[in-house]
Amino acid sequence: MADVSAKDVAALRKLTGAGMMDCKQALAENEGDIERAKLWLREKGKAGAAKRAGRAADQGAIDVCLDGPVAALVELNCETDFVAKGDIFKATVAALAKLVAANTADDVAGLAFEGTTVAEHLTQMSATMGEKIELGRVARYEMTGGATSGAIDAYKHIQNERGVIGVLVEIEGATGQAAIDVAHDVALHAASAAPRYTNRADVPVEDIERERAVFEAQTKQEGKPEQALPKIVEGKLNGFFKTVVLVEQGFVKDPKQTIGTLVSGLGADAKVKRFTRIKIGED
């Protein structure tokens, strides 16, 4: 094995971000050739990433891409907010959002990216940055009828120098700038109010029955008359729906008006077709 100087080890660390002992071994295995050592470290990067697999990647960044009738949302996870707000990390998640918008949300890891695949690129990033970096949640909306079928919006909420909440919203039954503006307002609202379902019909029956049982127990403990229980419980259930259902929530800019009412102002057929909300560190 070749003798390795501390200067060369430091230079290789700066170029690759790998650990000191790894750099020293890479140079020794490759007769002191820095370029070959860089390649050797990349080849060993998968082993390094595997060692990091047990770490929690609950930090990261979100970006969105809006391109005509297509909107995409991508979450990229890492271990620290220091890495998440770095220029390279933010540029990567922005590029991935554009990639998904132009292609598909299925098997994103296998898409061609930066001369390799998304999966391999993220493995190389993990090796270079010394953190577990992995693709998080991905969403992609495409209005099959184009701009004539509805309106779409993609919104990113920035905090601590990177996107931390992303929202996609699609409205159907209304078109034009007014519909786009309302879709934007709904996206802003969803980012803030964190609804879980679009409509009441989307709430799983088991969730409703669980809440009903809780409200019944609470009401009985309050000593309310037996004959009044059904009405009181239904009132509490309606309050639950107003908390978790998007169209029943009070609009954050005008709480006296629900999101459903806001959207219906576009026309009798206008409604929220779907939405997706993703927040870093939140399921």
pLDDT tens column, 103-153: 999 999 999 999 999 999 999 999 889 888 999 999 999 997 776 789 999
- State residue 85's pLDDT score: 95
Question: What pLDDT digit, counting tens, does each position of 207-229 carry?
Answer: 999 888 888 888 888 888 888 88
* Sole residue written with tokens 């993990």: 126
pLDDT at residue 183 tops 90: yes
Contact at 8 Å (CB) between 197 and 125?
no
- Given pLDDT bands bounded at 50, 70 and 90, which one contains residue 261? very high
Instruction: Please state, in angstroms and rounded to a whole number, the distance separating the CA atoms of residues 1 and 5.
Output: 13
Question: In the prediction, which pLDDT does 76 show?
Answer: 97
- Residue whose C-alpha is closest to residue 60's, from 265, 281, 226: 281
What CATH number corresponds to the domain at position 161? 3.30.479.20
CATH of the domain at 43: 1.10.8.10
146 conformational bin, left if phi > 0, alpha if psi -120 to 50, beta if neither: left
- Whether 83 and 214 map to the same domain: the answer is no
- 137 with 179, same domain: the answer is yes
Do 20 and 49 contact (CB within 8 A), yes or no?
Answer: no
Same domain, 212 and 158: no
Is residue 1 in a domain? no
Q: How confident is the model at residue 46 (pLDDT cuts 50, 70, 90)?
A: very low
| Least confident window among 9-18, 52-61, 187-196 | 52-61
Please compute the mean of the pLDDT values over residues 268-283 and round it to a whole number.
92
Please report, for the domain that includes residue 223, its CATH number. 1.10.286
The helix or strand, by DSSP H or E, that contains position 165, with its residue range, turns out to be strand 162-172
> Residue 18 domain-assigned?
yes
Residues 139 and 185 reside in one and the same domain:
yes
Burial call 239-269: b when 16+ CB within 10 Å, e when fewer: ebbeebbbbbbbbeeeeeebbbebbbebeee
CB of 171 closer than 8 Å to CB of 263 = yes
Picking from 159, 100, 170, the residue whose alpha carbon sits closest to that of residue 135 is 100
Its domain, for residue 224, covers 204-244
Q: Output the six-digit token pair for 277.
A: 């909300």
Q: Percentage of residues in the chain with pLDDT exceeding 90?
A: 65
Closest by alpha carbon to 155, among 165, 147, 146? 165
Q: What are phi and psi of 151, to 5 degrees?
A: -140, 150
Are 185 and 209 within one domain? Answer: no
Q: How many residues does the chain have?
A: 283
Instruction: Provide the mean pLDDT of the chain.
Output: 89
Q: What is the pLDDT of residue 164?
A: 96
pLDDT score of 174: 95
Nearest by Cα to 108 from 84, 70, 137: 137
pTM for the predicted model, two decimal places: 0.78
| Whether residue 123 is found in the same domain as residue 256 | yes
Read off the amino acid at residue 243: T
The kind and range of the H/E element at 44 are helix 34-51
At 56 the pLDDT is 55
Q: Are residues 157 and 233 in the same domain?
A: no
Model pLDDT, residue 235: 93
Task: Report pLDDT digits (tens) over 9-34.
Answer: 888 777 776 777 778 888 888 888 88
Residue 251 sits in the same domain as residue 163: yes
The predicted pLDDT at position 122 comes to 94
Q: Mark whether 175 and 139 lie in a shared domain.
A: yes
Averaged pLDDT for residues 182-203? 97
Instruction: Examine the domain organization and report whether 132 and 181 are in the same domain.
Output: yes
Check whether 50 has a pLDDT greater than 50.
no
User: Total domain count for the chain?
Assistant: 3
> Is 163's pLDDT higher than 90?
yes
Same domain, 183 and 66: yes
**Per-residue pLDDT at 73 exceeds 50:** yes
Q: Say if residue 57's pLDDT is above 60.
A: no
pLDDT (0 to 100) of residue 87: 96
Gap between the Cα atoms of 171 and 222, Å rounded: 42
**Is-contact 9 27, C-beta < 8 A?**
yes
Query: What is the identity of the amino acid at 13?
Result: R
DSSP tally for the chain: helices H, then strands E:
10, 10
Q: How far apart are CA 186 and CA 140, in angstroms?
A: 17
The yes-or-no verdict on residue 49 having pLDDT over 90 is no
